[in-house]
Structure 1
Amino acid sequence: MKKLCLIVILFSLLLPTIGCVADVQEQKITVQKQVGEDKVHEDFREISDRKKVSTAIEIVKSADWENAKIKMERYPDYQFQFPLKNGSQDKIASYLLWISPNGENVEIVTDGGKYVKLTEQDSATLYEILTGEALS
């Protein structure tokens, strides 16, 4: 009887933890890269490493976003998406990313009309996560 009680207690403690781990493992970032001079993007990478996904999401969420209508002179260099948990709803957050002309920062625009130019450090970190390359 004691063994059964112990098993039930352990199971009840581990079950919520297993659910949380499954949620984190399912998070991934999909990245598309611009090809040619047109507005055509093709699948480029998929990032599923939990630490990289968490870091990228944290950079994007903590950025100092502005509500602004931005008109860029060229099509975005990359597009990326990741799932967002918003209460009980799952959403896909989509972003358009440009490398600034000086090559030291990235600029991001959302389809909801928000804009941010990331710091050099955040730009380098996010760019490396998304592309696997250093920002030059």
Structure 2
Amino acid sequence: MKKIILFFSLLGVLLVTSSCLNEMVGQKITVQKRTGEDNIFEDFKEVNQRKQVEKAIDIVKNADWENKKVEMTSYADYQFQFPFKNNSENKIASYSLWISISGENLEIVTNSDRYVKLTEQDSANLYEILTGEELIK
């Protein structure tokens, strides 16, 4: 009887663990970096750590976005994408990212005419997640 209870307990733990892991499959951020002076990007980094992905998504999601089309004076420094769920539909969110001239803030633009200039703290945190380096001031 003890073996049966132990077996079903272990089976239950495995089922719960596997369902939690399945939720995180595909949860990653892909980052591309601009090469040279042209608008050409190459794969730079993939962020797979769950806490980092969640923190980056929170920063972007909770930013004070403006609905306006902006014309930046140069090509983006980075591009990044991550999957998100919208009304039980999986989509990919794509962003173009610039480092401000002062080097203290990140500016992000989407394809759907949304713009945000992140706070210094959010900029530093997001930059570190996306590049693995500190934002140089």
**TM-score in same-fold range (> 0.5):** yes
Q: Deviations over 1:50-104 (max 9, x none)?
A: 1111110110111111101000000000000001112321100000000000000
Pair 1:131 & 2:131 matched? yes
Could you tell me which residue of structure 2 aligns to residue 27 of structure 1? 27
Structure 1 residues without counterparts, runs of 5 or longer = none
Partner of 1:120: 120
Instruction: Give the counterpart letter for 2:60 in structure 1.
Output: V
Give me the identity figure in percent: 62
**Count of aligned residue pairs for this structure pair:** 136
User: SS of 1:95's equivalent?
Assistant: strand
Q: How far off is 1:10 after superposition?
A: 6.6
Moved more, 6-15 or 87-96: 6-15
Q: Deviations over 1:14-59 (max 9, x none)?
A: 6355323222243110000001111101110011011111110110
Within 2, Cα distance between the matches of 1:9 and 1:71?
Answer: 59
Aligned partners of 1:10 and 1:128: how far apart in 2?
A: 39
* Whole-angstrom distance in 2 between the partners of 1:30 and 1:47: 6
- 1:40 correspondence with 2:40: yes
| Deviation of 1:135 (Å) | 0.3
The answer for the alignment partner of 1:108 in structure 2 is 108
Higher mean displacement: 81-90 or 92-101: 81-90
* Residue 64 (structure 1) aligns with: 64
C-alpha separation in 1, matches of 2:87 and 2:20: 14
Q: Distance in 1 between matches of 2:49 and 2:36?
A: 29
Whole-angstrom CA distance in 1 between matches of 2:48 and 2:69:
31
**How far off its partner does 1:4 sit?**
5.3
TM-score with structure 1 setting the length: 0.88
Distance in 2 of aligned mates of 1:70 and 1:18:
44
Q: 2:41 and 2:23 mapped to 1: Cα distance? A: 28
Residue identity matched to 2:115? Y
Report if the CA contact (8 A) 1:25-1:50 is conserved.
Answer: no
Instruction: State the partner residue of 1:81.
Output: 81
Structure 2, gaps ≥5 residues long: none
